Amino acid sequence: MSITEATTGRWSRKIADTILGACNGQGENEYVLERWAYVPGMLLMAMARAGVQLAEPEYLSFMTRHMDSFIGEDGSIRSYTLEEYNLDQINQGKNLFRLYQQTGETRYAEAAHLLAAQLIGHPRTSEGGFWHKKVYPFQMWLDGLYMASPFLAEYGKVFQRPELIDEAAHQLLLVERRTRDPRTGLLYHGWDESREQEWADSSTGLSSHFWSRAMGWYAMAVVDCLEHFPVTHPQRGTIIGIFQRMCGALAEVQDAKTGLWYQVLDQAGRKGNYLEASGSCMFVYAMAKGLRLRYLEPSFKDVMLQGYEGILAHLTSEDEQGVHLHKICHGAGLSKDRNGSYDYYVSEAMVSDAAMGVAPFLLASLEVEGYRDSL
């Protein structure tokens, strides 16, 4: 499959239709949407963006229907607890802004205010970095930057709270400074300021490896935050600069044969490592959006398109049920029983058609198509 063939079709529509077909009200099949959580929230956001970009009301109503099953008339959120202080619980709230702006219903604004209140009072490191969760004290994970920072930046824009856009910038810059490896330019998955965790280096507090999806979360966080920053924001240029520098580091570890990225980014060829779908989709999404909005230099076009072509050629299949995405890491984290070792990352289950990969695949397809249409 050539780059041209990989980018001429509307894969986004095929993916969105597959999601609708799977979510037929009979247990929701692979895409579990009965709880307020970060992966369903990302899937809903991807479907809403598809609805706008493809002018398909059914995709938008899919998001609205599921969100409305959680949001009470007073703005309360079913199954959400502020005092859990869990950054993952913020991500689904990104859908509230579209609903509020489309309907004007105050319940959506009240729900957004509730989530913002969590972040304003969220536990922090000594430099003001959000703990990933209350139960993970003094730990910053790259995952958390995607969960919370774009929400905070958009909230600041919509509700005229510029200090919260400043906060989003602070989080992005702090975690990059703390986790970046100066030799490779890649970012470690997590950092423990207290240096107490078993997975943390005793001198730096850093985890041991560069996990693909962790860097994918951060890459998406950067482009999604920047979209809400005013052009006069004093950290905007710096953040764009570190994004381009990071994409350069990712280009160095892109697999030359397939255009994809490995589960453990800098360990190509090591036993057990594999070309992983969710991280690859996240990198393509971030680069395509960065190119469309001119955060990246045009030289990254080939890196992005080769990545997208690789996803379609090596990780995707189609049948009567629709589009399928394979080689998705089911999940990974850092804790006592998840020690951040190489063997740990390559031992986590590899699955097909999980929303963890399908949502970034849809987002990446929308951005590749949007970039193509903007040329």
- Give 149-195 pLDDT, tens digit per residue: 999 999 999 999 999 999 999 999 999 999 999 999 999 999 999 99
pLDDT (mean) for 209-228: 98
- The whole-angstrom separation of Cα 223 and Cα 285 is 9
Q: How confident is the model at residue 5 (pLDDT cuts 50, 70, 90)?
A: very low
Q: How confident is the model at residue 32 (pLDDT cuts 50, 70, 90)?
A: low
Is the pLDDT at 38 greater than 90? The verdict is: yes
Does the global pTM surpass 0.75? Answer: yes
Residue tagged 């520098």 (tokens): 245
- The whole-angstrom separation of Cα 10 and Cα 8 is 7
pLDDT (mean) for 90-97: 98
Name the CA dihedral angle for 41, 190, 216, 347, rounded to a multiple of 10 degrees: -90
Q: How confident is the model at residue 86 (pLDDT cuts 50, 70, 90)?
A: very high
Which CATH number do you get for residue 214? 1.50.10.10
The answer to whether 280 touches 221, Cβ cutoff 8 Å, is no
Least confident of 31-45, 81-95, 157-171, 249-263: 31-45
For the chain, what's the residue count? 375
DSSP SS3 for 142: helix
Q: Model confidence over 229-256: pLDDT tens digits?
A: 999 999 999 999 999 999 999 999 999 9
Is the pLDDT at 6 greater than 60? The verdict is: no
Among all residues, which ones are annotated catalytic?
143
Cross-strand pairs, 319? 322
Domain range holding 268? 3-374
What does each C-alpha distance from 316 to 105, 119, 294, 308, 319 come to in angstroms? 40, 37, 29, 11, 11
If one counts the domains in the chain, the total is: 1
Q: Model confidence over 97-150: pLDDT tens digits?
A: 999 999 999 999 999 999 999 999 999 999 999 999 999 999 999 999 999 999
Q: Looking at residue 359, what is its pLDDT?
A: 98
The set of long-range contacts for 260-264, using a CB threshold of 8 Å and a minimum separation of 24, is: 260/307, 260/310, 260/311, 260/314, 260/315, 261/212, 261/307, 262/212, 263/211, 263/212, 263/329, 263/345, 263/346, 264/209, 264/210, 264/211, 264/212, 264/342, 264/345, 264/346
Residue tagged 């004290």 (tokens): 137
Residue 256 phi, psi (nearest 5): -65, -30
Q: Looking at residue 31, what is its pLDDT?
A: 63
64 CB contacts (<8 Å, ≥6 apart)? 99
Q: Looking at residue 30, what is its pLDDT?
A: 53
